[in-house]
Amino acid sequence: MTVLEKTKNSINSTIFTLYKEGLFYKCFNEDAMIFSQRVKEYKVTAKFVKSVGAEVLSLGYMKHTNSFEL
């Protein structure tokens, strides 16, 4: 699944979707904001992605930190 497809999936969502990428779980755009606001405050980074043609917001955390301390 490409970054473009992942960003399109995050548009009309009231829940967030996590994608496993190597040792990390990542979410993009609106999904990243929902995760950061409702689950745990992580740093959301912005990066221009050439294949998307726009700036993409993303959030990632390591697979080993799947139990959150809230």
Inside any domain, residue 69: no
3-state secondary structure the chain: CCHHHHHHHCCCCCCCCCEEECCEEEEEHHHHHHHHHHCCCCCCEEEEECCCCEEEEEEEEEHHHCCCCC
What string of pLDDT tens digits covers the 70 residues of the chain? 888 888 888 886 677 889 999 888 999 999 999 889 888 888 999 999 999 999 999 999 887 755 555 4
Inside any domain, residue 47: yes
Q: What is the domain-level CATH number for residue 24? A: 3.40.1170.10
- Bridge-based pairing state of the strands 19-21 and 24-28: antiparallel
Inside any domain, residue 70: no
Inside any domain, residue 25: yes
pLDDT of residue 70: 42
pLDDT of residue 46: 96
Count: domains in the chain:
1
Q: How far apart are CA 68 and CA 55, in angstroms?
A: 28
Supply the pTM of this predicted model: 0.76
